[in-house]
Amino acid sequence: MKAIQTLGLTKVYPGGRKACEAIHLSVNQGEIFGLLGPNGAGKSTLIKMLVGLVNPSAGSARVLGFPFTELAARRQLGYLPELFRYPPWLKAQEVLAFHARLAGVEQSPDERTALLDRVGLHGRGSERVRSFSKGLQQRLGLAVALVGEPALVLLDEPTSALDPIGRYEVSLLLQELRAQGTTVFLNSHLLSDVEKVCDSVALIDGGRVLYQGSLKDALYGGARHHRVQVENLTETTWSTLHQSYPAATVQWDGKGGAEISVRIARTGLPGLIAQLVAAGVRVYEVAPDHSSLEEWFLSRLGKDPQ
Amino acid sequence: MLTIMHQSLVETMRKRLLVAAGGLTGLFLLLFFLFLRWVGTPANIPGYTYIAGLTYLYLGLFAAYVMIALFSVLIFVATISAEIDDGTLLAVLPRPIRRSHVILGKWIGLSLVAMAYATILFFGIVFIDQAQYGAVAGNTANLLAAYGDFLLEGLVVATVTLLGSTLTSTMANGIIVSSAVLIAFLGGALEQLGALTNPSPAFTVIGWVTGLLIPTDALYRRALFQLLGNHVYPGAIIGAGPFGAVRPPGEGMVFYGILYIAGMLMLAIWSFGVRDL
Ligand SMILES: Nc1ncnc2c1ncn2[C@@H]1O[C@H](COP(=O)(O)OP(=O)(O)O)[C@@H](O)[C@H]1O
Ligand SMILES: [Mg+2]
């Protein structure tokens, strides 16, 4: 069973804006899944369809094995909305108690305290939501999403209002959740968050999925520029090499060293290195040019940083 | 559903809305009481006690009519719309709870408050009046029938306002429902005026149309007739002119009121169900 499986989910808002277009995604149980995309890409709309806030125009989905329109799909689910507020006159622990009742789970005062501690709201249980800053509200939102130890947690921009410490704490929290076997579906435009914790990612823009796969593949898969630092590269070796990689370029530093720049898939690297080594070239370093998620993100969206 | 109902009750208390409205209503009843005390009863004019009792009862009931409508608009006006605007519902609806139950929970919870309010106001006025002037307002059956009409009036306004809050903004909703209640009152007044002065059927049609639009005024006039109709004191109701009930709506209006509430509630459930948040 997949934690989430969408089949062509589509949303056209009244007024004609297509926020999501035939989205097929699948999220494995127990993984941290990051949905990336620029503002207005349709990330929030997709999550809202999954939790029943937005009625899809077409398509369907299964959440935790149930058709997503059934209440059963939401029994084991925690959700942190992107923009939200809790009733300002409630105390933090009352918000948790209310959500526990809505979720139909028993919750002791000790569990509430533990939950607040977990999101960095230690000792603030009897303060009213009114007095919470945006960041504190977001922490409380995380605690609410974790009420009842759900099997699947959907977080829409969970760190947008948090300070760097808060972000770090959230990334630890997410790893803790993964260790417990909880599936996390995370929406973010803050790529560093995603880069730290996600197992899989999907990239959407304009309501379409541009990429779905493991974070490793996103970062290291596909053909990309690599810089290869070598010594002992002769003209003959280079011209042989150049026949196999016509787009490759080289720069000699005049002291016996050289840097080859070549566009190649990660899977082709061992072959290239073997070829160099066989020709007596000493390889010092092979570095992919696009090494951060941000660069990958920009290049995928057609905004190559170079 | 129970959770939502409970929460909306708690919310009403916390917002001090109930406290404020209850306080003002208490103040109104106190003033009404003091006023009747102060006006007093001239001892030696025959029948005067009766007329004074009916007049002040009528004034009090008119105030109740307006205040019940206002209160019902007030407590329901922000139900769904404000919670959509500030994002409160975003965290609630993804819980394993049906949207229809959210609507029903809020409707039941807040309707209880509205009915409690109508009850206190109605019996407060009747009893204060009777304490001063004796039993002037028909028998118990009439009293209960009138009470029922006032309850229905409050529920009609409450349910329409709930529907409005699923459809439009808090502000627009408040304006629209208040206007509808006012139009129904003007339509009802025209109908009574027509019944007194002009046999033209146009007046009756106006009353009918506005009564169908929102039966608050028709229910009020029916209640008035129960208490002040010819069976109680011949001619009393004519004295009230366009504010009276010379031509009282019949039993049918009660059934229409109940159907109206059920219909509006179903529309509210439907319109909230298809709404994107
Ligand atoms: N309720 C709505 N009505 C109409 N258009 C909407 C609504 N919500 C979002 N949109 C539009 O749908 C697109 C996707 O929005 P959203 O899902 O919020 O994107 P993201 O979360 O990726 O920033 C945007 O163009 C946005 O303007
Ligand atoms: Mg968003």
Q: Which ligand is nearest to the CA of A11?
A: 1
CATH number at residue A122: 3.40.50.300
Do A98 and A128 lie in one domain? The reply is yes
Q: Is pLDDT of A66 > 70?
A: yes
Q: Is pLDDT of A160 > 90?
A: no
Q: Which domain-ending residue is among A200, A216, A232?
A: A216
The tokens for A9 are 């989910």
Number of H helices, E strands in chain B: 11, 0
Tell me the per-residue pLDDT of A251-294, one tens digit each, with 9 for 90 and over.
Answer: 998 888 999 999 888 888 899 999 999 999 999 999 877 556 77
CATH number at residue A262: 3.30.70.1150
| pLDDT for res A188 | 84
Q: Which domain holds residue B193?
A: 2-274
Alpha helices for A119-233 (secondary structure H): 134-145, 164-180, 191-197, 215-220
Q: Check B91 against A51: CB less than 8 A apart.
A: no
Q: Give dist(CA A20, CA B91) in Å, integer.
A: 22
Band of pLDDT at residue A304, cut at 50, 70 and 90? low
Residues A182-206 have a mean pLDDT of 86
Q: Give dist(CA B260, CA B252) in Å, integer.
A: 12
- Closest chain B residue to the Cα of A13, Cα to Cα: B276
Band of pLDDT at residue B46, cut at 50, 70 and 90? low
Chain A: residues touching B (Cβ < 8 Å): 13-14, 48, 51-55, 71-72, 74-75, 77, 79, 81, 83-87, 89-90, 98-99, 101-104, 141, 144
Do A95 and A193 lie in one domain? The reply is yes
| pLDDT for res B86 | 85
Q: ∠ CA(B76), CA(B157), CA(B229), 5° rounding?
A: 145
Q: Is A15 in the pocket of ligand 1 (CB under 6 A)?
A: yes
Closest CA to A38 of A157, A139, A141, A154: A157
Among A37-46, A130-139, A220-229, B249-258, where is mean pLDDT lowest?
A220-229
The tokens for B26 are 């208490």
Highest mean pLDDT among A143-147, A222-226, B87-91: A143-147
Q: Is A133 in the pocket of ligand 1 (CB under 6 A)?
A: no
Do A145 and A273 lie in one domain? The reply is no
Band of pLDDT at residue A58, cut at 50, 70 and 90? very high
Q: Give dist(CA A36, CA B211) in Å, integer.
A: 55
Q: Is pLDDT of A306 > 60?
A: no
Q: ∠ CA(A73), CA(A77), CA(A78), 5° rounding?
A: 155
Q: Is pLDDT of B16 > 80?
A: no
Among A30-34, A100-104, B190-194, where is mean pLDDT lowest?
B190-194
Q: Give dist(CA B277, CA A297) in Å, integer.
A: 29
Q: Check A71 against B93: CB less than 8 A apart.
A: no
Band of pLDDT at residue B237, cut at 50, 70 and 90? low
| pLDDT for res B155 | 97
| Cβ proximity of A30 and A17 under 8 Å | no
Q: Which domain-ending residue is among A178, A193, A216?
A: A216
| Cβ proximity of B41 and B130 under 8 Å | no
Q: Give dist(CA A29, CA A12) in Å, integer.
A: 29
HEC assignment per residue over A27-81? ECCCCEEEEECCCCCCHHHHHHHHCCCCCCCEEEEEECCEECCCHHHHCCEEEEC
- More reliable by pLDDT, B135 or A40: A40
Q: How far is the CA of A232 from the centre of ligand 1 (A)?
A: 56
Q: Check A98 against B87: CB less than 8 A apart.
A: no
Q: Give dist(CA B77, CA B198) in Å, integer.
A: 38
The tokens for B90 are 């975003």
Confidence (pTM): 0.86
Q: Is pLDDT of B238 > 70?
A: no
| pLDDT for res B236 | 64
Do A212 and A236 lie in one domain? The reply is no
| Cβ proximity of B129 and B36 under 8 Å | yes
Query: Which of A83, A103, A144 comes nearest B96 by C-beta?
Result: A103
Q: Give dist(CA A45, CA A23) in Å, integer.
A: 11
Bridge partner residues of A213 (DSSP): A201
**How many distinct structural domains can be found in chain A?**
2
| pLDDT for res B41 | 67
Q: Which domain holds residue A124?
A: 4-216
| pLDDT for res B227 | 84
Is the Cβ of B1 closer than 8 Å to some Cβ of chain A?
Answer: no
Do A172 and A185 lie in one domain? The reply is yes
| Cβ proximity of A219 and A293 under 8 Å | yes
DSSP state of A281: P
Q: Check A85 against B15: CB less than 8 A apart.
A: no
Do A211 and A268 lie in one domain? The reply is no
Do A22 and A137 lie in one domain? The reply is yes
| pLDDT for res A145 | 95
Do A135 and A206 lie in one domain? The reply is yes
Query: Which of B14, B95, B277 comes nearest A89 by C-beta?
Result: B14
Q: Is A42 in the pocket of ligand 1 (CB under 6 A)?
A: yes
Do A30 and A55 lie in one domain? The reply is yes
Q: How far is the CA of A45 from the centre of ligand 1 (A)?
A: 6
Most A CBs within 10 Å, among B19, B86, B95, to test the A interface: B95
Q: Give dist(CA B72, CA B66) in Å, integer.
A: 10
Residue A306 included in any domain: no
Most B CBs within 10 Å, among A84, A105, A137, to test the B interface: A84
Q: Which domain-ending residue is among A160, A192, A216?
A: A216
Do A239 and A261 lie in one domain? The reply is yes
What ipTM is given for this predicted complex? Answer: 0.82
**How many distinct structural domains can be found in chain B?**
1
Do A204 and A245 lie in one domain? The reply is no
Q: Give dist(CA A272, CA A265) in Å, integer.
A: 10
Helix B99-133 with B2-14: angle, nearest 10 deg: 50
Tell me the per-residue pLDDT of A74-97, one tens digit each, with 9 for 90 and over.
Answer: 999 999 999 888 888 899 999 999
Do A205 and A239 lie in one domain? The reply is no
Alpha carbon nearest to ligand 1 atom 24, residue = A40
| pLDDT for res B97 | 92
Q: Is pLDDT of B171 > 60?
A: yes
Q: What percent of chain A has pLDDT over 90?
A: 60
Q: ∠ CA(B71), CA(B226), CA(B36), 5° rounding?
A: 65
Closest CA to B71 of B30, B124, B128, B12: B12
Residue A99 included in any domain: yes
Chain centre to alpha carbon of residue A144: 21
Mean pLDDT rounded to a whole number for chain A: 89
Band of pLDDT at residue B184, cut at 50, 70 and 90? very high
| pLDDT for res A301 | 79
Residues A206-222 have a mean pLDDT of 81
**For A212, left (φ over 0), alpha (ψ -120 to 50), or beta?**
beta
Band of pLDDT at residue A128, cut at 50, 70 and 90? very high
- More reliable by pLDDT, B49 or A159: A159
Strand order in the sheet with A4-12: A18-27, A4-12, A58-63, A66-67
Residues B29-44 have a mean pLDDT of 82
Residues B215-230 have a mean pLDDT of 87
Alpha carbon nearest to ligand 1 atom 26, residue = A40
Residue A305 included in any domain: no
Residues A169-180 have a mean pLDDT of 91
